[in-house]
Amino acid sequence: MVIVSAKGLIKDYGTFRAVADIEFQVFKGECFGFLGPNGAGKTSVMRIIHCFMPPTAGKVEVFGLDVLEQPSIIKSKIGVMPQEDNLDIDLSVLENLIVYARYFDIPKKRSLPKAIELLEFLKLKDQVSLNIRKLSGGMKRKLLLARALINSPDLLILDEPTIGLDPKSRHTVWESLEKLKSEGITIILSTHYMEEAERLCDRVAIMNCGKISVIDSPSTLIIKYGDTLESVYLKITGKSF
């Protein structure tokens, strides 16, 4: 079953073409990755998928719904973990989740137990009452993931989920994502970490200058082009990260 479909997708910012006529599909239950350095067009594609901004041209459907025609329905079924930290610094860890749940019309009697469950799952139970200012970078990334899951989404979109984290914190987030994947949640992520794509993704789209150079499984790409995804990227695009 196709969850996301894009055909002829273009995104321009003035005279700059950030996404240049790309096509891809994401299937139910898979983890699909956009792999490339900063400026490759990954974030623009992600933002179009979760209806944060419109495409300049082309057609994008999520759950069979056009992102331009039915964004509200699409947003209600999606969880988004942004690259930037946009947590509310005036609220506690738990309050951030409860307040965010209101955007999905989830009453507190439902959001509270769900929030506690997510904080336990992501090992943030002991930080429930802490103010956001007192959290480490790793804790903030895990809280952003918890927030993305508060509405029990059918599709989880992660923009550079472990950016800026130390190796230990990165592996902790990966373990959580692997558990979610095992539960059948469809995941789309963007990353410039080779190990992250290899560990989590069923398929990756190698992006370069707004275009998709190739889509395949990490293991197949490594067999064809080299021992690591970094060497894969270099041989396909002629560029290093």
130-173 pLDDT, tens digit per residue, is 999 999 988 999 999 999 999 999 999 999 999 888 888 888 88
Whether the per-residue pLDDT at 8 is higher than 90: the answer is: yes
Query: Is this model's pTM higher than 0.85 or not?
Result: yes
**Does residue 61 form part of some domain?**
yes
- pLDDT, averaged across the chain: 93
Residue 151 covered by a domain: no
Query: Is position 25 within any domain?
Result: yes
Is the pLDDT at 229 greater than 90, yes or no? no
- CATH value at residue 15: 3.40.50.300
**How many domains does one find in the chain?**
1
- Report if residue 30 sits inside a domain: yes
Contact 186, 1 (CB under 8 A): no
Range of the domain at 50: 1-77+157-166+181-241
Handedness of CA 90, 95, 99, 100 (dihedral sign): positive
User: Whole-angstrom Cα distance, residue 94 to residue 151?
Assistant: 15
